[in-house]
Amino acid sequence: MAEVTRVPLQPIAKGSLTKLWLGVAIGILIGFGLAWFVVPQVMATVNGVKIETLAEGVGPNPSATDVVFVRYKGTLDDGTVFDESQDIPLPVEGIFPEGSPLPLDRMLPGFTEGAQKMQKGGKYIMKIPAEQAYGAEPPPGAPIPPNADLTFEIELVDFMSEQDFQGRLQQLQQMMAMQQGLGQQQGAEGQPPAPGQ
């Protein structure tokens, strides 16, 4: 019978096995961490509207009659951008937050449903099926085809009640009227006197 050549095994250095298992454990934890933060978490599905959370918000949710201030981009299934928000440059800071103001009671049914599941400061992807969007009759001239599902990337900057919004709007209008009145008064003071004065 032939004898098997024996290879002497070297002893493992002290602490190497512990380091190896520690490295494996850290690798697994990093993998789970990346999966948790990179993969959007489905937060809710309401009447067919899917909301994925990209970044958690804090605090309460808006109601169906609130005005939300958002930054958003609306796309079709093929990636075509059909609408994108722009911050409204207001003349007085501190009256309205940044973002575009959208009264939820005048929005698409799916948008209103989805926005009520969001929180201030959160970032989301909202997928609205056609029957909760424009259905077979999109707005005339819009780049949205009939029966199109819509996807919105949304950052909910802030929200307030319609009453609060109207009060702040009135306050802003009064401030603008005062500034305009002061500007006209200062302009009139700088004019030369009219003949006969």
pLDDT of residue 87: 76
**Would you say residue 3 lies in a domain?**
no
Q: Which residue has the higher pLDDT, 37 or 62?
A: 62
pLDDT of residue 21: 62
Provide the residue range defining the domain that includes 78.
Answer: 47-171
Is the pLDDT score of 102 beyond 90?
Answer: yes
**Would you say residue 116 lies in a domain?**
yes
Split into its structural domains, the chain has a count of 1
pLDDT of residue 197: 44
Q: CB 44: neighbour CB atoms within 10 A?
A: 16
CB 112 within 8 A of CB 105: yes
**Would you say residue 62 lies in a domain?**
yes
**Would you say residue 141 lies in a domain?**
yes
Going by their DSSP bridges, the two strands 100-103 and 66-75 should be labelled as antiparallel
CB contact burial 108-130 (16+ within 10 A = b; e otherwise): bebbbbbbbbbbbebbbbbbbbb
Q: Each residue of 118-155: pLDDT tens digit?
A: 999 999 999 999 999 999 999 898 899 999 999 999 99
**Would you say residue 194 lies in a domain?**
no
Q: Which residue has the higher pLDDT, 36 or 70?
A: 70
**Would you say residue 107 lies in a domain?**
yes
**Would you say residue 181 lies in a domain?**
no
pLDDT of residue 76: 97
Is the pLDDT score of 163 beyond 70?
Answer: yes
**Would you say residue 115 lies in a domain?**
yes
Cβ burial of 150 (10 Å; 0-12, 13-18, 19+) is buried
CB 59 within 8 A of CB 120: yes
> How far apart (Å, rounded) are the C-alpha atoms in residues 144 and 81?
10
Is the pLDDT score of 73 beyond 90?
Answer: yes
- CATH number for the domain that contains residue 55: 3.10.50.40
